[in-house]
Structures are given as C-alpha cells and as structure tokens.
Amino acid sequence: MASSTLISLDAMGGDHGPAVVVGGVKAYYSLYGGDGVRFLLHGDEAAIRAEMARLHVSDDLCQVRHTDKVVAMDEKPAQAMRRGKGSSLWNAIEAVKAGEAQAAVSAGNTGALMAISKLVLRMAVDGLERPAIVASWPTKRGFTAVLDVGANIGSDARQLVEFAIMGEAFQSAVHGVARPTVGLLNVGSEEMKGHEEVREAHAVLRTDAVPVNYTGFVEGHDIAAGTVDVVVTDGFTGNIALKTAEGTARFISGLLKEALTSGPLAKLGALIAMPALKKMARRIDPSSVNGGPLLGLNGIVVKSHGGATAEGYANAIRVAVELARSDYLTKVSANFARLAAAMDEPAPVVMGETEQ
C-alpha cells in the first residue's frame, strides 16, 4: 500500500473551473485507482461542494479550502504576482511551499502560474527566467519528453544541460523509462553544428559531468520518430516546434475528416473503418498527454491545459502523483550539484572541444 499523498488543486483555474477539476478527481480515481491519494481543493467552497455533490465525490477524498479570490485567465503575470496573494492559484502553490501538499495542479493562466510558482517556491537553479515546461510528445515508440517548450528565451549551455537533467528525471518518473536516452535538438547540416550554446552543451553532456544517457544530436524529425526518450532544446525553438507539430496534426486531421465526408462512398468507408480510426485517434488524443510540469522549481507544480476535459485533468493529476512519489526532486538536485561542481572546476578537456 502506497503512503498517503496530498495533491493541492487550484479548483477555479481553467475554462471550466470546479466542474472539470472535481470531474478530474473523480476520473483520476476511476482511471488510475488513486491508491492513497487525497486532495486539497482551493476556491469557492459552495461551487466546489456543489460539484462534489453532483459527481458523488466524498469528503474523505477532498478537503476544501475556501477563497473568493481568483486569478483571471487573461490577467498579466506581473499583475497576478502583485494582486494574486490569497487566490486559489496562489494558495494551491503555497500549500506545496508549506510542506502540506506534495504537489500542485492548476489549469489556470500559464503566465500567472509560472510567475507565482517562481515567486512562492523559488527556482532551484539560477539563470532560468521562468520555469521550464516539458511536453510529453506522442511518438512511434510511446512518449518522448521535449523541453523546454515554455518559451524561456536564450538558454545558454548550462541551462540546456539542466533541461537534460530534469527531462531525464521526469521521463523516468512519469513514463517509467529506466534509463532514458537524451538527445540535443540541432540542425542536420554537415558542416554546421548549430548555435554555440548547443555545441557547448553537447561537449558537457558527452563527458561524465552529469550521469545522463546522452546519445548526441537529433533533428526535428527524430522527435515523432521517438529516436530518443528526451529531446532537449531552448524554450524558443521548443515552443515553436511544439506548436508547429500541433498545427500539422490539426491540418492533417482536418484533411482526413474532409476526405472521409466528401461523398457517399467515402462516408460509407469511414463508417466501416470507424472503430480502427477511433483507436488511432486515441493515440494522439491531447487528453492522454495533458499535464506539463513546471520544472526547475523547489517543488512540484503541474500545468493542465485550460480547456482540458475531466479525463485530461485526471492525467495531469497522475503526472503530479508520479512525480511526488518518485525520487524526482532529490535526483534532480543531486545532479544539479554535480553539474555545478563540474562547471566550476576547470575542465580543459570538456571546454577545449568547443573552441573554434
């Protein structure tokens, strides 16, 4: 029997508020069992209790902590930091800081969640302007963790190595990969070896400075091919790669739908093949990959998509539980310390490789 884990939820965040958050709790129990997991819900108590009653979610599973205050979905991060104290989002994070809960989940405003998480929990590493976000990317071989997709601009070599450390620990905690392979995203042309920071991170990762299973450079097409378990890139490139892939998937799904409704024969064919097509759609269903942890904080915070369904939200809860129950935080912090030692010492062999 697993020990008890308390997960703190921002019940007011997201497009659907308590309906999806309480629905997500219920779906989590029915989909994943929820062995020993309890919840602390922050927000409008009446609204939360109404959903609990409607969905038959018992008081034993969920404590409710009332607050009137809510961070709006369109509130600017700076404003949310100034005015957000005491809001459901803030209190959800605060419970992790206080050691009361082991992780927090919010489907609220991403910018505000990042800013408040950073303010309340503090970054575990210097230099990152905001927490990194990891995407669980469906691939031929399962899921590849891609980070940073959270728009950190201008990551230097050290940050790329930190992403590698966090991505590896995430992949092994959440997707159960024992010794994840790690690749650095780069362009594939022969004579170019990408940005200086990419080449420098490559030189560090190739050594024993950090114990990740680094396999070298990968290219854009390697992501969906599942060539490696973890793909490391800066937040600008990662954010654009993720959104480009989502756009491509949407475009092709749209073409497919158009084709399969384009005439009576096509419709008949689609009807007959429907069970197989539905099974395929589930493999790239956004619900199954919902829940991106904010990495690099002193604590576990998971972002759910604002428009997620209850099943999607349940997956974000699952990610939070897996991380909370794993050695994720201690492993990452040990490897950060190891990296710091390696980078502060003179390491002529490592850095020599990056000289032009």
In DSSP terms, 279 is beta-bridged to none
Q: What's the half-sphere exposure (Cβ side, CA atoms, 13 Å) at 12?
A: 24
CA distance 168 to 329: 12
Range 14-53, binding its own copies (CB under 8 A) = none
Give the nearer residue to its own copies in terms of CB position, either 33 or 254.
Answer: 254
Contact stretch for its own copies (CB under 8 A) within 14-22, 60-68, 155-163, 247-255: 247-255
Q: How would you write 248-285 as a 3-class SS string?
A: HHHHHHHHHHHHCCCCHHHHHHHHHHHHHHHHHHHHCC
Q: Least distance to its own copies from the beta carbon of 274, Å?
A: 7
Give the one residue of 127, 248, 307, 341 binding its own copies; rule: CB under 8 A: 248
CA distance 115 to 130: 7
Binding pattern for the stretch 258-297 against its own copies, x by CB under 8 A and - elsewhere: xxx-xx-xx-xxxxxxxxxx-xx--xx-------------
Binding pattern for the stretch 57-76 against its own copies, x by CB under 8 A and - elsewhere: -------------------x
Give the one residue of 222, 326, 333, 347 binding its own copies; rule: CB under 8 A: 222
Range 227-246, binding its own copies (CB under 8 A) = 233, 235-237, 239-246
Binding pattern for the stretch 89-128 against its own copies, x by CB under 8 A and - elsewhere: ---------------------xx-----------------
Give the nearer residue to its own copies in terms of CB position, either 98 or 153.
Answer: 153
Q: Least distance to its own copies from the beta carbon of 60, Å?
A: 39
Give the nearer residue to its own copies in terms of CB position, either 266 or 337.
Answer: 266
Tell me whether strands 292-295 and 301-303 are parallel, antiparallel or unpaired: antiparallel
CA distance 20 to 42: 14
Q: Least distance to its own copies from the beta carbon of 164, Å?
A: 17
Residues 6+ apart with CB under 8 A from 313: 14, 20, 21, 23, 24, 27, 28, 105, 107, 290, 304
CA distance 265 to 106: 45
Q: What's the half-sphere exposure (Cβ side, CA atoms, 13 Å) at 25?
A: 32
| Number of helices and strands in the chain (H, E) | 13, 11
Instruction: Tell me the number of residues near its own copies by CB under 8 A.
Output: 70
Give the one residue of 101, 223, 228, 350 binding its own copies; rule: CB under 8 A: 223
Helix (H, G, I), strand (E, B) or coil at 144: strand
Residues 6+ apart with CB under 8 A from 23: 51, 55, 309, 310, 313
Range 167-186, binding its own copies (CB under 8 A) = 185
CA distance 112 to 136: 22
Binding pattern for the stretch 192-221 against its own copies, x by CB under 8 A and - elsewhere: x-xx-----------------------xxx
Binding site for its own copies (CB under 8 A): 76-78, 110-111, 138-140, 151, 153-154, 185, 187-192, 194-195, 219-225, 233, 235-237, 239-256, 258-260, 262-263, 265-266, 268-277, 279-280, 283-284
